[in-house]
Amino acid sequence: MINLKLANILTDIAEVNKSRTDDRKISLILTIAARTIRDNPERVDKTFAEGKLKDLVGIQGLPYDLIKEYLETGSIGLYEEIKQKYSQDLIRLMRISGFGKKMLFKTYDTLNIKTLADLKEKLNEGAAIFGVLAGTTSGKDTTIKTYVERFKLSLDYIESIKGMSPRWEVENYVDEIKNSLYRIKDIETVMAVGSLRRKKSAVKDIDLLILPYFNGLTYDFVKSEKLLDEINSLDFIKRLIKKDIRQENISGRFGTVFGIEIELIISSRKNWAVDMLYATGSKKHIKKLETVARGRGFFKGGRIDINAISKDRPEGIINHSGTSSCPETDTVRFEETIYDKLGLQYVPPELREDMGEIELSDRHILPELLTMEDIKGDLHVHSIWSDGLISLSDMIERIKKFRYEYIAISDHTTSNYYGRGLDVERLRRKESYINRLKSRFKDFRILLGSEIDIRGADKFDYPEDIIKKMDIAIGSMHSSFLNTRDENTTRAVSAIKNKYIDFVAHPTGVVFGNRAPYFIDIDRLIEEAARNNKALEINSYFLRMDLNEQNVRKAGKMGVKLVINTDAHRPNNMDMIRLGVDIARRAGLQKKDVLNALPFEELKAWKSQRSQV
């Protein structure tokens, strides 16, 4: 994943420079460049080869020189100098943990730590690292204990995402892979299955189901194996890892130039539906489904028996035409037939995780899941007033694309230096600008929003007399990540209890591969949100995805409204709203559970009623 890899390197360099006051501006421009690279839907090496790199926002001067150096030589000299003393993992821990360079590097140097394994060993020993931390912190036992716990949490987080990639980035590469596959004349249909189809936020690999023209009601193993050999010669393939020849089909596992493995399953027209079902998974869901099939006489040869299911209604599963394709739009119809014959309500792919969905399906009481069409607006979008690079025309384009009723321009506040936060004077100018937009546009609403930093318990960047003027007031934490669980929870809860703040954004603070979640009692936050009729955000930015589906499920059960926003800083970030919808669907949310599924007048009434309590 070259974009994310290169963006992480730029972020690491920026992080190392942050502790030097004279280099603060350098850190800022590298941070902007890193976001541009990781948000770019096209591979940065391809953009560079086409001579378009300098056209990207923030990729001029130093950032351009560093990226050019990396793409031409495979490394960046400035970064290699840092790595001579500290490994890449140890450098990245600075951002993931929130520890400053001075304290972290002193710990490494004093204890001769060269790898994450060395650090883990020292943490387990205890005494030595306690001694170092005593000399670099306030020396209080509670502070030292919190720092040790932060180290451990950060290492556990690194371990938890090992081998994982954000789905949004992977899906960009899947489009490129599909285009290559469709150039092979024997391939009729290619469909993403596995964790991609189940819409998991992060995935380990890519699973694609392939229907060739030559596999109709019979399976040609010889031609299918030759097809895998032909695929092995495509540009995106690095090597064949293994072939798997089963009774019903053949598959191949390959390494790719994208840095992620891919499983290609060669299916047939006859078995398309059942292959799709099995390849989508999850394994636990399929195992439960097989138990139902076995009990109802639709199981044979270690698999759900497609022949028994389709014998009286073949048109529901198999397209017998030798020329018509089996498009992805038919997948639900195919699978509905299987579930129906098993006496079950159709289970959408997002719910297939053995979380009780089979039992609900058996009783035909699965929820009617939220859809993209239910979303009426995005309440967390950054503009050029702060650190966003989204123009008014970009916003209007998305408003029309998604048929939104409203959008809130919610910029950073005073204390957020790297987010170019607005002080009160700049906020007033922005308010005048928004008021002019409100007068100008009648088909949709432009709302005055603000992402207000929670600096401490009941300490916000703006006073209440300003917060209450906001159409949408968001509370969020962007600093003091080393606070204790109680301190962070108290901060967040104080925002929940403030009657003018509507919801808390990205409540756990996690950023994929860049920051471990901070210490916070999420259960208490959910309880307080329920008690105070406040919403919690599902942040759809592809590296945040916060709240995650587990916490969304908890909040939904407590009756807490979730609000799905993009936290967009670039135009294409606004398209990531679907990622948040995917989280909501995986958590079983319905339209009634989501704040920004409300029409504007109902959203306005919710805010007005709540603020009067």
Name the pairing type of β-strands 237-245 and 206-212.
unpaired
Task: Classify residue 260: in a domain, yes or no.
Answer: no
Is residue 335 packed enough to be buried (19+ CB in 10 Å), middle (13-18) or exposed (0-12)? buried
Judgement on whether residues 502 and 592 belong to the same structural domain of the protein: yes
What is the value of pTM for the model shown? Answer: 0.93
pLDDT above 50: residue 268 = yes
pLDDT confidence of residue 143 = 86
Judgement on whether residues 344 and 460 belong to the same structural domain of the protein: no
- For residues 470 and 500, the answer to whether their CB atoms sit within 8 Å is yes
Q: Which is more confident, 418 or 405?
A: 405
The vertex-275 CA angle with 270 and 277, nearest 5°, equals 125
Judgement on whether residues 584 and 504 belong to the same structural domain of the protein: yes
Judgement on whether residues 478 and 584 belong to the same structural domain of the protein: yes
The CATH number of whichever domain residue 294 belongs to comes to: 3.30.210.10
The CATH number of whichever domain residue 558 belongs to comes to: 3.20.20.140
Judgement on whether residues 331 and 405 belong to the same structural domain of the protein: no
pLDDT confidence of residue 23 = 62
Task: Classify residue 168: in a domain, yes or no.
Answer: no
pLDDT above 80: residue 20 = no
pLDDT above 90: residue 49 = yes
Q: Which is more confident, 421 or 135?
A: 421
Task: Classify residue 413: in a domain, yes or no.
Answer: yes
Q: What are phi and psi of 308, to 5 degrees?
A: -65, -40
pLDDT above 60: residue 325 = no
pLDDT digits (tens, 9 = 90+) for 430-459: 999 999 999 999 999 999 999 999 999 999
* Closest to 506 measured CA to CA, from 547, 478, 473: 547
Q: What are phi and psi of 243, to 5 degrees?
A: -110, 150
pLDDT confidence of residue 320 = 41
pLDDT above 80: residue 328 = no
Judgement on whether residues 60 and 15 belong to the same structural domain of the protein: yes
Last residue of a domain, one of 366, 401, 434: 366
Domain count, the chain: 3
Judgement on whether residues 479 and 570 belong to the same structural domain of the protein: yes
Judgement on whether residues 11 and 46 belong to the same structural domain of the protein: yes
Question: What pLDDT band is residue 287 in, cutting at 50, 70 and 90?
Answer: very high
Last residue of a domain, one of 59, 84, 109: 84
pLDDT digits (tens, 9 = 90+) for 295-317: 999 998 889 987 777 665 444 44
Q: Residue 33 is part of which domain span?
A: 2-84
Interval 334-343 mean pLDDT: 91
Question: What pLDDT band is residue 417 in, cutting at 50, 70 and 90?
Answer: confident
Interval 257-282 mean pLDDT: 95
Task: Classify residue 116: in a domain, yes or no.
Answer: no
Task: Classify residue 48: in a domain, yes or no.
Answer: yes
Judgement on whether residues 551 and 483 belong to the same structural domain of the protein: yes
Question: What pLDDT band is residue 523 in, cutting at 50, 70 and 90?
Answer: very high
Task: Classify residue 377: in a domain, yes or no.
Answer: yes
Place of tokens 């294409």: 572
The CATH number of whichever domain residue 24 belongs to comes to: 1.10.150.110
Judgement on whether residues 360 and 475 belong to the same structural domain of the protein: no
pLDDT confidence of residue 314 = 44
Judgement on whether residues 320 and 441 belong to the same structural domain of the protein: no
pLDDT digits (tens, 9 = 90+) for 74-91: 999 999 998 888 889 999
Task: Classify residue 423: in a domain, yes or no.
Answer: yes
- For residues 98 and 150, the answer to whether their CB atoms sit within 8 Å is yes
The string over 419-457, giving b where at least 16 C-beta atoms fall within 10 Å of a residue's C-beta and e elsewhere, is bbbbeeebbeebbebbeebeeeeeebbbbbbbbbbbbee
Judgement on whether residues 358 and 401 belong to the same structural domain of the protein: no
- For residues 451 and 428, the answer to whether their CB atoms sit within 8 Å is no
* Closest to 531 measured CA to CA, from 560, 504, 500, 502: 560
**Rounded-to-integer distance, Cα 544 and Cα 126, Å:** 32
pLDDT above 90: residue 383 = yes
CA 87 to chain centre: 27
pLDDT digits (tens, 9 = 90+) for 162-211: 999 999 999 999 999 999 999 999 999 999 999 999 999 999 999 999 99
Mutual orientation of helices 101-110 and 2-18 as an angle, nearest 10°?
A: 90
**Rounded-to-integer distance, Cα 561 and Cα 529, Å:** 8
pLDDT above 80: residue 274 = yes
pLDDT above 70: residue 322 = no
| One-letter amino acid for residue 41 of the chain | P
CA 558 to chain centre: 24
Interval 48-53 mean pLDDT: 94
Task: Classify residue 213: in a domain, yes or no.
Answer: no
Using a pLDDT cut of 90, give the percent of the chain over it: 79
Last residue of a domain, one of 366, 384, 399: 366
pLDDT confidence of residue 315 = 45
**Rounded-to-integer distance, Cα 508 and Cα 522, Å:** 8
Q: What's the chain's average pLDDT?
A: 92
